[in-house]
Amino acid sequence: MAPLQTVSRALARSATASRAPAATAVRAMSSTPALRDSSSSYQSPFKGESKTNVPDFSKYMSKGSGSTNALFSYFMVGTLGAISAAGAKSTIQQFLVNMSASADVLAMAKVEVDLAAIPEGKNVIIKWRGKPVFIRHRTAAEIDEANSINVASLRDPETDDQRVKKPEWLVMLGVCTHLGCVPIGEAGDFGGWFCPCHGSHYDISGRIRKGPAPLNLEIPAYDFSDDGKLVVG
């Protein structure tokens, strides 16, 4: 059955082709035996519409010039990309903002201290974000002492001016930079702080002078408000 069908298909093809004038001459040369039969017995294998309607797409054709169309297409694609990029950036940003400190943590992050209650030459320790903060009301002699030191000889060279906003108020984190103990005030070889854990000596400006600690005591962010208060944080 199979060969029969192939033959009939070939017949259909040749029937179409034989309408061309040159067909007979070519066929004469071909080795295939001419299978001539009545072409009227041929039936199209396709049912339904036999007429071929080639659709006309010309109304879809753009009226603009090629360069304008290219520009517009690239503009649309580019704008799509740009807006998507902006949206993606904004989305990622929102997720990252999520990770930052929440409002209640930030609200606890500031501590106010009334400076009028601290007499000259006294230390006050307050808690700020779970860490002790040393506040010292320094005397004039202490300020002079802190300024008289040769900065170049220090392990962590900092002038006293860099460490205070007002010379009479020294504000710093009470955490030893060695291993995080809390130093003792008004102790040590240099009249400042002394860390009992491993024997680090800090001077009256909180700078490391002797012992294992590598750095000066850290200075938190703080500010003096107008009404004589210190705001740490």
- Rounded to the nearest whole angstrom, what is the least distance from the CB of residue 15 to another protein in the complex? 9
- Tell whether residue 74 is a contact of another protein (CB under 8 A): yes
**Which residue in 39, 79, 162, 225 binds another protein (CB under 8 A)?**
79
**Which residue in 42, 78, 101, 140 binds another protein (CB under 8 A)?**
78
Q: How many helices (H) and strands (E) does the chain have?
A: 6, 10
Residue matched to tokens 């230390």 = 123
- Tell whether residue 127 is a contact of another protein (CB under 8 A): yes
- Rounded to the nearest whole angstrom, what is the least distance from the CB of residue 174 to another protein in the complex? 14
- The CA distance from 41 to 228, in Å, is 114
Instruction: Compute the half-sphere exposure of residue 229: CA atoms within 13 Å on the CB side of its CA.
Output: 10
Binding mask 22-41 for another protein (x = CB under 8 A): xx--xx-xx-x---------
Contacts with 182 (C-beta within 8 Å, 6 or more apart), sequence order: 132, 174, 175, 176, 195
- Tell whether residue 229 is a contact of another protein (CB under 8 A): no
- The CA distance from 155 to 215, in Å, is 7
**Do residues 223 and 164 make contact, with C-beta atoms less than 8 angstroms apart?**
no
Q: Which residues is 114 bridged to in the sheet?
A: 229
- Tell whether residue 151 is a contact of another protein (CB under 8 A): no
In the bound state with another protein, the residue whose beta carbon lies nearer, of 28 and 152, is 28
Q: Which residues is 136 bridged to in the sheet?
A: 123, 170
- Tell whether residue 117 is a contact of another protein (CB under 8 A): no
In the bound state with another protein, the residue whose beta carbon lies nearer, of 6 and 38, is 6
In the bound state with another protein, the residue whose beta carbon lies nearer, of 72 and 196, is 72
**Which residue in 37, 76, 114, 228 binds another protein (CB under 8 A)?**
76
Residues present in the chain in total: 233
Q: What are the angstrom distances between the C-alpha of 63 and each of 58, 60, 72?
A: 10, 9, 13
For the question of residue 198 being annotated catalytic, the response is yes
Give the footprint of another protein on residues 40-69 (CB under 8 A).
52, 54-55, 57, 60, 65, 67-68
**Which residue in 36, 39, 80, 155 binds another protein (CB under 8 A)?**
80
